[in-house]
Amino acid sequence: MRAPLLLSSVCILAFASPASAQTTTATSAARVTAPSAPSYEQRVREATEQIAHGDRTAGMAALRTAIADAPSRPDAHCTLAEGYRAGGDFTAALDNFQTCLRFAREADDQLYIARALHGVASSYERMPEHLSDARTAWMDYAHFADGASRVASASEGRERVQAIDVATEQERVYVDVRARIAERERIARETPPAPPPAAAPAARGRTTRR
């Protein structure tokens, strides 16, 4: 009595096998052909290349996507900050460099600490009203570089401090000179002109007798 049952089971399997095989094949093909999402590192690398080649819009959009995927990693923040700085948006650059610095310090990532400190200082220096902040930031960079010479240059930091001091002194001298000139001009405007000198009396000629 078991033979018919066994034969029926074999027939069922025979009819079912092609469909099952097709489903398995299709699933395997989908797994092979479906494109995988780019990794965080790949997004940052491609964005850096796009910005370097002049496509800042696409590059910075890719960096924002990378930041959304991994907000606490410093590299995309620093690269985005550099993009803003290259475009002249120094306020946005500072915000992103400072965010990069915070996450780099949390991770004790010396390379990105150096990169962020350098970015903060160089961004401040491009803002004339923030030269004092730039000087402080370059000093911070130089002090960090004293203990991390493999990733930062203490001499560069101190050279920038010296350059800022020279520029500040020149500006002070220029302002003093302009102030003195303005004061002389004010006095000249407010002082009435001196009256013209009185004419000398005409000399009387001698009369000769004949």
Helices (H), 87-153: 90-107, 110-125, 131-146
Domains of the chain, with CATH numbers?
40-189 (1.25.40.10)
Tell which residue, 126, 142, 133, has the closest CA to residue 86: 126
Mean pLDDT value across residues 166-186: 82
- Assign 89 to helix, strand or coil: coil
DSSP 2-38: HHHHHHHHHHHHHHHHHHHHHHHHHHHHHHHHSPPPP
Residue 210 pLDDT > 50: yes
Spatial distance between the Cα atoms of 30 and 144, rounded to a whole number of angstroms = 51
pLDDT at 207: 56
Mean pLDDT value across residues 131-149: 97
Spatial distance between the Cα atoms of 96 and 36, rounded to a whole number of angstroms = 29
Contact, 51 vs 59, CB < 8 A? yes
Which is higher by pLDDT, 2 or 87? 87
pLDDT at 116: 98
Residue type, 181: I
In the block, tokens 């001196």 appear at 194
> Minimum mean pLDDT among 144-153, 157-166, 193-202: which range?
193-202
- Assign 205 to helix, strand or coil: coil
The token duo for 56 is 């800042």
Residue type, 70: A
Residue 6 pLDDT > 80: no
Contact, 72 vs 103, CB < 8 A? yes
In the block, tokens 């000198």 appear at 197
Spatial distance between the Cα atoms of 78 and 85, rounded to a whole number of angstroms = 10
Mean pLDDT value across residues 99-123: 98
